[in-house]
A and B are shown apart, each in its own frame.
Chain A
Amino acid sequence: MVAVLASAPEPVTTGLAIELRNVSHAYDLPSGRLAVLENIDLVIEPGTCVALLGPSGSGKSTLLRLVAGLEQPETGSVLADGVPVEKPDPSRVLVFQDPTLFPWRTVRRNVALGLEAQGRLKTEGHRIDEAIARVRLTEFADAFPHQLSGGMAQRAALARALVNDPRLLLLDEPLGKLDQLTRLTMQGELLSLWQQSGFTALLVTHDVEEALLLADRVIIFSDRPARILGERRVELPHPRHRGGAELIALRREILQLLGVSEAI
């Protein structure tokens, strides 16, 4: 597996620096205003992997949508390399909890979406098969999404993101719906993809262990409206071990910050 991953050509990507300045956001719902983000200040250094950890439905996904440029914050600003984010761009790709593959397209044509939309299919089409190989789906390149397992579908979604050589990968609980075994395998795969490529990664998760295994920094969010409760740096080399003493200590601290009882 490592051999397959290593044989893929090394893309020359430099991670994007992200800065959120005093960002607040709310949605107008029929039932009234729903504040989801409150005064978020956050600086993410290029090439790092940062985990956003917090209770489900707290507004972390909204934060990703703002960074992706799918929505504009109500107040405050989102900067990518110092430039305000105004609209989506293929350099900042979002991977959702659901693979959201296009059901009428084969894996290959799903992966081709980005290049097709940017009119680069003719010149850079060869990268499609490379991206599919990177996520080990070569045998399933001509399969339709409904023929894939959950893990394979999510890997296809990853390939669809990676084919654009993103400088920032936004991962919205990408492993949230997978079974435990697939989840563990894919954590390793995500890690090696990130290590190879040099993009900045922003990972939303509510799994403390996942955050600690993958990220350089873990930002802890409160319940909605989300505020930053604190953060922890994880200065451990990869691969990290779930049972390691430092990890367990960090896990305890984070759970305390979130107000979850020790027994869990």
Chain B
Amino acid sequence: MADTTQTAGGALASSALFGDIWRNGLLAAASWLLAAAVTVGFTDVVPWGQTKLFALLLVIGAGAFLELAFTVHRLGAIGRKLVHYGPWWIALGLWLAAWEVSTAKLGWLPKPFFSPPQGLLHVYLTDWDRLLVCVLYSLRLWGLGFFSGIAIGFIVGVALGWSKRFSYWGMPLLKLIGPVPASAWIPSAFFIFPTTFGASIFLVALASGIPVIILTASGVASVNRSLYDVARTLGADRRFLVLKVAIPAALPNVFVGLFMGLYSSFAVLVIAEMLGAKYGLGWYLQFQTAYSAYANVYAALILMALLCSGLVKLLFVGRDRLLGWQKGIVQW
């Protein structure tokens, strides 16, 4: 029978629907229930606060999966996505159970470096206001730095790629300074700039701007010359050649630079906050580590992961909009 082979064939194959019942949904409900049972069934080695609430959330999750097991096929696109990640939901429940056992219940992993899930839950419930302020501070610093960096980087990149004179003077400087990691500028930036906030913006801007400059310049410089010839014979002036030929043609390269800049901006953001900020997720990590509040550190790390991957996702959406014409030419 097809279904028995699927069970044997591994997690991915079993994402298929079993009649009208989503079997992985049932299994996910079971694994979440198991985690809940482990959480309430044994006592914590030391009290972690929100043990009961955490178990309750797991039971609610299990209940949701139980219901989804019968209704998911009516949910359209969202339902298909849930079904696709079926094995992940099962694994998540098992992993939470294992996490629970190894930390809160048996204390295998050394305290205070490892916190059970209810410890993180406790942090979110008690320290949410400070975390929120830190997220906003981080977003402000990142936004000011990243957007000014890529704006300047884009303009400088177009100028370098377009103008021979600009390239003559600019390229050697870029080749010399470009490879220096932005974090190397931290000590000097902190005393050159009047405020550490200004210095931090500069550092994030530098980290995101350099890759954008390099990729934009090479993109503009490598545009197929015939496109310029065509545009010129059709009556294009310089402005048209830059705005409607060079820049759109270079855009795929610019996006590569944007992705590189985005990743290095995160790195510099966190270091800058650790060294010179009064708030922000980087500061929070540093501050809580000093107090050995590792549950807070993990809680902040999870927030940071969501924030950074969310921003990466946004950039992907932007690229899909602007470079939709590439579909069918380039493998994404």
Q: Do A and B bind each other?
A: yes
Instruction: Give the B-binding residues of A (Cβ under 8 A).
Output: 65, 68-70, 88-90, 92-94, 96, 98, 100, 102-105, 113-114, 116-118, 144, 146-147, 160, 164
Q: Is the CB of A68 within 8 A of B233?
A: yes
Q: List 24 A-B contacts (CB under 8 A).
A: A68-B233, A69-B233, A88-B232, A89-B235, A90-B233, A92-B233, A93-B233, A93-B234, A94-B230, A96-B230, A100-B230, A102-B249, A103-B326, A103-B329, A104-B251, A104-B323, A105-B325, A113-B230, A113-B234, A113-B236, A117-B231, A117-B240, A146-B328, A160-B234
Given known contacts A100-B224, A116-B244, A117-B240, A88 and B233 CB-to-CB distance under 8 angstroms: yes
Chain B residue at smallest Cβ distance from A164: B234
Q: A88-B232, A96-B229, A102-B249 are in contact. List 8 more A-B contacts (CB 8 A).
A: A68-B233, A89-B235, A93-B233, A94-B230, A102-B248, A104-B325, A118-B235, A147-B328
Would you give the 0/1 interface string for B244-279, flagging 1 where the beta carbon is closer than 8 Å to chain A?
A: 110011010000000000000000000000000000
Say if the beta carbon of B227 comes within 8 Å of chain A: yes
Chain A contact residues: helix, strand, loop or mixed: loop
Contact of A117 among B229, B234, B248, B326 (CB under 8 A): B234
Given known contacts A98-B226, A100-B227, A104-B248, A114 and B235 CB-to-CB distance under 8 angstroms: yes
Give CA–CA (A117, B239) in the complex, Å.
Answer: 10
Give CA–CA (A69, B325) in the complex, Å.
Answer: 32
Nearest chain B CB to A141's CB is how many angstroms away? 15
Chain B residue at smallest Cβ distance from A113: B234
Count class of interface residues, chain B: 20 to 34
Contact of A90 among B235, B244, B328 (CB under 8 A): B235
Give CA–CA (A147, B324) in the complex, Å.
Answer: 13
Give CA–CA (A103, B240) in the complex, Å.
Answer: 17
Say if the beta carbon of B129 comes within 8 Å of chain A: no
Report chain B residues within 8 Å CB of A88. Answer: 232-233, 235
Give CA–CA (A93, B236) in the complex, Å.
Answer: 12
Report chain A residues within 8 Å CB of B233. Answer: 68-70, 88-90, 92-94
Most central of A94, A102, A118, A146 by chain B CB within 10 Å: A102
Q: Is the CB of B328 within 8 A of A113?
A: no
Report chain B residues within 8 Å CB of A69. Answer: 233
Within 8 A of A (CB), among B3-30: none
Report chain B residues within 8 Å CB of A103. Answer: 325-326, 329
Chain A residue at smallest Cβ distance from B237: A117
Give CA–CA (A8, B245) in the complex, Å.
Answer: 30
Report chain A residues within 8 Å CB of B237. Answer: 117
7 shortest interchain CB distances as A-B pairs: A114-B234, A117-B236, A90-B235, A118-B235, A88-B232, A88-B233, A104-B325
Chain B residue at smallest Cβ distance from A70: B229
Contact of A100 among B226, B248, B329 (CB under 8 A): B226
Report chain A residues within 8 Å CB of B227. Answer: 100, 102
Report chain A residues within 8 Å CB of B240. Answer: 116-117
Report chain B residues within 8 Å CB of A102. Answer: 227, 245, 248-249
Give CA–CA (A244, B325) in the complex, Å.
Answer: 47
Nearest chain B CB to A155's CB is how many angstroms away? 15
Given known contacts A98-B226, A102-B227, A144 and B325 CB-to-CB distance under 8 angstroms: yes
Nearest chain A CB to B209's CB is how many angstroms away? 25
Nearest chain B CB to A227's CB is how many angstroms away? 25
Report chain A residues within 8 Å CB of B245. Answer: 102
Chain B residue at smallest Cβ distance from A146: B329
Give CA–CA (A146, B237) in the complex, Å.
Answer: 27
Chain B residue at smallest Cβ distance from A170: B233
Report chain B residues within 8 Å CB of A93. Answer: 233-234
Give CA–CA (A114, B231) in the complex, Å.
Answer: 7
Report chain B residues within 8 Å CB of A160. Answer: 230, 234
Nearest chain A CB to B11's CB is how many angstroms away? 38
Report chain B residues within 8 Å CB of A68. Answer: 233
Report chain B residues within 8 Å CB of A144. Answer: 325, 328
Give CA–CA (A147, B329) in the complex, Å.
Answer: 9
Given known contacts A98-B226, A146-B328, A147-B328, A90 and B249 CB-to-CB distance under 8 angstroms: no
Q: Is the CB of B325 within 8 A of A113?
A: no
